[in-house]
Structure 1
Amino acid sequence: MTPTLLSQSAPLSSASPTIPRVDSALRLSLRPVPNRLSVVDGAWWPFSCDAAAELPGLIAAVDRLLDRVTLRIGLHGDVWRNIPRRIPARGRQVRVGWFRHADPRVITLSFAAGEPVVLLLVPSGTAAGTAEATLKLTVQDIAGFSIDAILTLAQLPAGPAPHAMADGSARWENEGGSVIGQVTQASVGRPTTQP
């Protein structure tokens, strides 16, 4: 099946000179020119929490949409299962780093040149209407919004993402999961972690 790219007729913001893209087949939205005042550059709605199965498609899509080469991916280690150290991609191996101090609600892709891309993770079990609304929302002008505010606008739980357990089930941090560091949001810019 060939993915259909849905695009808007004009940029949503003067900070983004090119048209944001939502690819419903890949369940990915991406702002082609990152707005450094936004905490995320788009959103991704993976089909599962299996990193080995999901990340190759994400890498290929981001490389194609941005015309860049992904070299590294950073993700929260408790949110994903089956996390490989490297993922084969066109002519290279993409390094995967997993951390417990990062915000579990985002995934970061780094390139040889240019700013990294931060994508909001839409939980795989999210209802289609809510997930698609979130994909569209994240490519609009959301500068100055925190991740919690974006999730509230999208009608998703503003709490941390569920943590994948060894048996494949998920548990929310407010249901007894461990909190290694507390993530805070600066009024403008990328999320930061405080010990």
Structure 2
Amino acid sequence: MDGAWWPSSRDAAAELPGLIAAVDRLLERVTLRVGLHGDAWQHIPRRIPAHGRQVRVGWFRYTDPRVITLSFASGEPVVLLIIPSDTAGAAAEATLKLIAQDIAGLSIDAILNLAHLPASRAPRATADGPAGWENEGGSVSGQETTSTARPSALT
């Protein structure tokens, strides 16, 4: 686990541009691809525009829905724990602070337990769920939401 992210919603189209910009800036690398669990997000685009390029978005059903992975041209990918958007502010901030510490070797469940968040809690898409799937993308339906800035932690 390389860090944590507390998005404002499960709307991938609204949330991913800010995450990509923050990771690019903080790590001084260019994000090329984002991988996430398809059932944990709404409005998942195939690509996200970012500083004159298109970042590919891949969604999968066999990954942990509590993490998101960002890949770059060089170096290891970055894996972030997703703090569910409906998490209370104090609990989310405590999780971000915990992640900023040395958590090497801890499982996701152990991290969530230390942060006093339910280990089994994973974000889920609404009942509208995935409307159709393709190899590298698809579409989902659901309510549109707006994104507001929230703290994130990268270690």
Q: Output the TM-score relative to the length of structure 1.
A: 0.65
User: Is 2:103 the partner of 1:142?
Assistant: yes
Out of 60, 64, 77, which is 2:21 matched to? 60
User: Is 2:96 the partner of 1:113?
Assistant: no
Q: Which runs of 5+ in 2 are unaligned?
A: 130-155
Q: Which runs of 5+ in 1 are unaligned?
A: 1-39, 169-195
Deviation at 1:162, TM superposition (A): 2.9
Alignment correspondent of 1:74: 35
Deviates more, 1:133-142 or 1:120-129: 133-142
Counterparts of 1:144 and 1:69, CA distance in 2: 27
> 1:27-64 CA deviation, whole Å, 9 max, x = no partner?
xxxxxxxxxxxxx1110000000000000000000000
Q: Percent identity?
A: 79
Q: Which has the higher contact order (CA 8 A, sep 6+)?
A: 2
Aligned residue identity for 1:158: A
Q: Please state whether the residue corresponding to 1:98 is helix, strand or coil.
A: strand
Query: Larger C-alpha radius of gyration, 1 or 2?
Result: 1
> 1:92-143 CA deviation, whole Å, 9 max, x = no partner?
1000000000000000000000000000000000000000010111121111
- Count matched residues: 129
Q: Where has structure 1 moved over 6 Å in runs of 4 or more?
A: none
Counterparts of 2:60 and 2:128, CA distance in 1: 20
After superposition, where does 1:17-28 map in structure 2 within 5 Å?
none
Out of 3, 7, 11, which is 1:50 matched to? 11
Which protein is richer in helix relative to its size? 2
- The RMSD of aligned alpha carbons is 1.1
CA pair 82-166 structure 1, distance change in 2 beyond 3 A: farther
